[in-house]
Amino acid sequence: MADMVNDSVRRRTLNRTLLARQLLLEPADMGPEEAVAHLLGLQSQNAASAYPGLWSRLAGFDFAALGRLLTERRVVRLALMRDTVHLVTAADALRLRPWLQPALDRGPRSAQWAAGLGGVERAALVAAGRDALAERPLAPAELKGLLGPRFPQADPTALVTALRAWAPLVQVPPRGVWGEPGALRYTFADDWLGAPPADDPDPAGLVRRYLAAFGPAGPADMQKWSGLTGLKRVFAGLDLRTYRTEDGRVLHDLPDAELTDPDVPVAARYVADFDNLLLSHADRTRVLGDVPTSRVISVNGLVSGTVLADGFVAGTWRFEKAARAEGAVAVAVTPFAPLRPADRDTLEAEGLRLLAAAHGDVPCHLRTVRFLPLP
């Protein structure tokens, strides 16, 4: 690796640069498919999360547009980074899954699931899954009913869990389409997309794309985002710019990438639950600031929607049904400290816009933004 510079970089600079690359400094003028590709996917274990996630990033985002991309098979939802469900473009589903497979392979062999598998081999289970899903997508209960008799020594729940890790199973719509009920049903990604997985996922190219969306960053950060190990070797083979943080950590960036002015003003923002903005660095202080991780990420891995003030996490938010009238909806904001009047005004205005996008069928007088008491 040829280091072009070795400058120091402040946390506030990292914050502004991350927001810019995550399309959160100001709304981006791009379509949702392009944004999903740029972001290398959005975490989607909550099927609804991607909608406010893109709404906060894109000018004029229409919730229905993302639903159409799902039904047209241009984006898909499947287990990828950190063995969590992500919404990605069709091309990235076929590219990322082979690259991440070594990390995904480890899960079914962990102590939690290995006993339930009863010694079932991966190749045999994947072949049985192919047979079971050959005709149509199936729900987990249907897969259990078909796989269980094939492997009577194993727990059917463990079989489905292992198949999800060992094989690229997509969750087919209407699951994931905003406002439409949709039971979980699986099928193989290559069957759904009509194309095989990538022969060469291009790790070096993926490092560059990660830095374009999350940099400056180091191998430990990309490992936190992806769940993969061994990334130091890939970083070392690239010509990257090098920075050093105030606490001495070394970060890397694309040679021609620019850092964002640390003093650029940032309007208050809503960030979706389970957003990769919070989950893709070993050191999360570039967006959490001094807020403890436990205030936004629970012990069992639930990630709250957050609000940003001056670029840093300043509270949480959620959709809720409002109590004042039947059919009413609200955005409920829980600040961690008193908000500046300008930030509160912005969050109220943006919250109403978000409700209009998410619940346009609800009359405007039944949409409200509530600020809950400080905890």
User: How far is 78 from 296, CA to CA, in rounded Å?
Assistant: 24
For residue range 171-196, list pLDDT tens digits in order: 999 999 999 988 999 999 999 999 99
- Helices then strands, counting H and E runs in the chain, come out as 15, 13
Q: Is residue 109's pLDDT more than 90?
A: no
For residue 52, cis peptide bond before it (omega within 30 degrees of 0): no
Q: What is the pLDDT of residue 2?
A: 40
**Predicted pLDDT at 111:** 65
DSSP one-letter code for 260: P
Is residue 1 over pLDDT 60? no
SS3 305: strand
Q: Contact, 93 vs 168, CB < 8 A?
A: yes
How does pLDDT run across 218-274, given as a tens digit for each residue?
999 999 999 999 999 999 999 999 999 998 999 999 999 999 999 999 999 999 999
What integer pLDDT is reported at residue 91 of this predicted model?
97
Instruction: Give the separation between CA 144 and CA 125, rounded to whole angstroms.
Output: 12
Question: Residue 313: which of 332, 331, 281, 339 has the closest Cα?
Answer: 339
Q: Are strands 305-309 and 312-321 parallel, antiparallel or unpaired?
A: antiparallel
Mean pLDDT, the chain, rounded, equals: 95
Which helix H or strand E contains 38, and what residues bound it?
helix 32-38
- Kindly report which listed range (3-17, 132-146, 175-189) carries the lowest average pLDDT score: 3-17
3-state secondary structure of 125: helix
The whole-angstrom separation of Cα 229 and Cα 219 is 9
Cβ atoms of 130 and 124 within 8 Å: the answer is no
pTM here? 0.94
Instruction: Measure CA 321 to chain center.
Output: 25
**Residue 334: CB atoms within 10 Å:** 18
